[in-house]
Amino acid sequence: MTTRAHARPLAMRRTGAVLLGVIAVVALLAPWIAPNPPDRRFPNLLYAPPTPVHAFDAHGVAPHAHALRIVSRIERSFEEEPASRGPMLLLGADAYGRDIFSRLLYGARTTLGLAVCATLAATLLGALVGGIAGYASGWLDAVLARLSEFVLVLPAIYVALALRAVMPLVLAASTVFTLLLAIFALLGWPMVARGVRAIVASEREREYVIAARAAGASASRVLLRHLLPAAAGYLRTQATLLLPAFILAEATLSYIGLGFPDTTPTWGTMLQEAANVALLGDAPWTLAPAAAIFFVVLSVNLFVQGTGRPPIQLER
Amino acid sequence: MVPFLIRRAIFAIVLLVCTSSTALFLTRLAPGDVTSQLGPTASRDEIDSTRARFDLNRNPLAQWMLWSGRAVRLDFGDSFLYNQPVGPLVVRAAGNTAVLALVALAIASVAGIALGIVSGSRQGRSVAAAVGGVSLVGVSMPPLLTSLLLVFVAARTGWLPPGGMSSANASDMGWAAWMLDVAWHLPLPALALAVPIAAMFERLQSQSMSEAVQQPFVVAAIARGVSTRDVILRHAWPVSLRPLCAVYGLVIGALLSGSFIVEYVTAWPGIGRLMYEALRARDIYLVAACAAMGAVFLAIGTLTGDLLLAASDPRVREGDA
């Protein structure tokens, strides 16, 4: 009984970590794994279903797919032609006949890359601001505390929406990346800063800090080398909360057309394919990016719950 | 309690003024303005008169002064998109959002708390593991995913209408028929919004319940022969409610954020959709009014949360909340 109760969180944490590792490796290796270039259009395969993969041919092991032939353009029904080979579409094709699986892999790089960068930026900014506020105390502390409370109370997605919407609607992908990174970092830091401030404010009275100061360490050295390490565990916790929130924020903004340009594959822009209700029922594979988001968030939550906390993320 | 309420009221007013003014300035300073909605064929005169109508020919500060001067007299300006005063527009949209959010909150509370009591009081049993697993999936399904999934299910099966708040012929319906029609459109978006929140409530309730049943007073109640059911529902549950009440104030933020994307996906005509349209069209006074309405929602939400917390915990009530 006790062993099971202890074993389960550990197993959950490991499962979460392994899943996240696999996702990261797959995203990094996208150009080598993807069966098709992400922008390649197959004009005769609009909304084509996933193709069955055949592992062997006459010469041995050689994964391949048979060509698909349109039976009816109106009903979008296809049939396999065993005689000829065609593009391998593991998750079907989208409205332009592009391979959803390949786009999903390339999209992971943008979506997850942005989320990871934004998490790092928000955590660093929050640690710095919270550390300074907790160490300085006095009026600076009070001003920073009010500021972070104000940002915390606003529903983040509306602020992100407003900040993004007031920029020019059409921007290059790299500009969008930087812009969203800045917006996410600005919205994420107060969550981190509040806790770091409390930790630093209580730690600064401890003997080791007084000793460090007595030994002549400067304020910045005490803060960076002695106080912030005390908040390391807290920072990790906050990072696991921010990461899924940022993945979702990118998906939401791109889905509503205020994120990356439509041509850039990200999980959010790909979800736009699912916006057409009439087509969604016939082409459920356009929901693949939603499943991908779910798996990443689930992996993070498995990892988090394995550490003994309920995975509470008020997506704000 | 009274000084606390006064402080809350001041906070609400500051929030209201700040968000709506910021929204106004942001929209004003953004590239492009509402005249781009007139299309490329608009004449010089048309553009000039539209700019004058929305005070865009003044500098931003003068515009803000004009707008805030009128706003204190409850005149919030006109919408370009809808060609009518923004007040009634925003109030109607806010009502739709409130209906959606309250129904979702009710579903989430009932389902989440009930399941949390079950799984929290039966730790180590398979039912607790099953409920825990389901809600782990639930917390990993934010409203964007639940709404897309439910729309897909609705499109595939036809069990529920996949979007909108009323049918196309709603204007011909009588009052009662219209209400029924709306009630028929409501479950899908409400469920999409409720699922992640229900899962979060379940996790919180489960954890606090599993802690509560280990308290000495619960053991004492069992020793005195109180039935298991009564011990859990009448002794342990009220004590375990505190963490839940503490997040209720924050849930309003989650509801507002979540309802934005749910409204977008399921075409529910709420405040989130309205704000999105207004932002894209640079419909400046509509943006400001939507932001103000959002602030009102937030103020009501945090106040409700604080009152609930005070009701559930005497320590908060007595001390300085």
Q: What is the pLDDT of residue B1?
A: 67
pLDDT band of residue A4 (cuts 50, 70, 90) is: very low
Q: What is the pLDDT of residue B317?
A: 63
- CA A227, CA A133: separation in Å to the nearest integer? 12
Write out residues 228-287 of B within 8 Å (CB-CB) of A.
Answer: 247, 250-251, 253-254, 256-258, 260-261, 264-265, 272, 275-276, 279-280, 287
pLDDT at residue A6 tops 70: no
pLDDT digits (tens, 9 = 90+) for B256-287: 888 899 999 998 999 999 999 998 888 999 99
State which residue of chain A sits closest to B201, comparing Cα positions: A312
- Residues in contact with A203: Cβ distance below 8 Å, sequence separation at least 6, in sequence order: A209, A227, A230
pLDDT at residue A181 tops 70: yes
Unique residue bearing structure tokens 């400067």: A218
pLDDT band of residue B29 (cuts 50, 70, 90) is: confident
β-pair partners for A64: A54
ipTM of predicted assembly, 2 dp: 0.86
Q: What is the pLDDT of residue A307?
A: 66
pLDDT at residue A7 tops 70: no
Helix, strand, coil: what percent of chain B each, to 5?
A: 80, 0, 20
pLDDT band of residue A313 (cuts 50, 70, 90) is: very low
- Tell me the longest C-alpha to C-alpha distance in chain A: 83
pLDDT digits (tens, 9 = 90+) for B171-220: 777 888 888 888 888 999 999 999 999 999 998 899 889 888 888 888 89
pLDDT at residue A19 tops 50: yes
Q: What is the pLDDT of residue B318?
A: 62
Q: What is the pLDDT of residue A3?
A: 43
- Torsion sign over Cα B161, B166, B172, B177: positive
Distance, C-alpha A189 to centroid of its chain: 17
β-pair partners for A60: A57
pLDDT at residue B102 tops 90: yes
Q: What is the pLDDT of residue B147?
A: 92
Q: B319: which DSSP letter?
A: S
- CA A314, CA B292: separation in Å to the nearest integer? 22
Distance, C-alpha B244 to centroid of its chain: 17
Mean pLDDT value across chain B: 86
Of A150, A162, A255, the CB nearest to B26: A162
Q: Which amino acid is at A99?
A: D
Helix (H) or strand (E) holding B309, with range, is helix B284-312
Nearest to B295 by CA among A275, A186, A158: A158
Other beta carbons within 10 angstroms of residue B259's beta carbon come to 28
Q: Give the angle subtended at the CA of A191 by the CAs of A189 and A195, to the nearest 5°.
A: 110
- CA B34, CA B43: separation in Å to the nearest integer? 14
Please, what's the b/e burial string for B281-296 (b: 16 or more CB within 10 A of its CB; e: otherwise)? bbbbbbbbbbbbbbbe
Nearest to B203 by CA among B301, B319, B112: B112
Tell which of A3, A150, A166, A255 to mutate to test the B interface (max B CBs under 10 Å): A166
Residue pair A88/A282 in contact (Cβ under 8 Å)? The answer is no
pLDDT digits (tens, 9 = 90+) for A134-151: 888 788 888 888 888 878
- CA A150, CA B17: separation in Å to the nearest integer? 13
Q: Residue A215 burial (CB < 10 Å; 0-12/13-18/19+)?
A: exposed
pLDDT band of residue B163 (cuts 50, 70, 90) is: confident
Q: Check residues B91 and A284 and name the one with the higher pLDDT.
A: B91
| Tokens matching residue B283 | 């419909």
Q: CB–CB of B31 and A162 under 8 A?
A: no
pLDDT at residue A237 tops 70: yes
- CA B135, CA B160: separation in Å to the nearest integer? 24
pLDDT digits (tens, 9 = 90+) for B53-91: 888 888 889 999 989 998 888 888 889 888 899 999 999
| Tokens matching residue B296 | 């009102």
Kindly state whether B25 is in contact with chain A, defined as any CB-CB distance less than 8 angstroms.
no
Lowest-confidence region among A291-305, B31-45, B104-118: B31-45
Mean pLDDT value across chain A: 84
Q: Residue B37 burial (CB < 10 Å; 0-12/13-18/19+)?
A: middle
Rounded (10°) CA dihedral B99, B102, B105, B107: -60
| Tokens matching residue A123 | 């955590």
Averaged pLDDT for residues A44-72: 76
Contacts with B30 from chain A: Cβ below 8 Å: 165-167
pLDDT at residue A49 tops 50: yes
Nearest to A155 by CA among A245, A239, A236: A245
Helices (H), A29-92: 30-33
Kindly state whether B26 is in contact with chain A, defined as any CB-CB distance less than 8 angstroms.
yes
| Tokens matching residue B5 | 């309420």
Averaged pLDDT for residues A237-260: 90
DSSP string spanning B7-47? HHHHHHHHHHHHHHHHHHHHHHHSSS-GGGGG-TT--HHHH
CA distances from A148 to A120, A191, B258, B260, B320 (A): 18, 8, 22, 23, 21
Q: CB–CB of B144 and A252 under 8 A?
A: yes
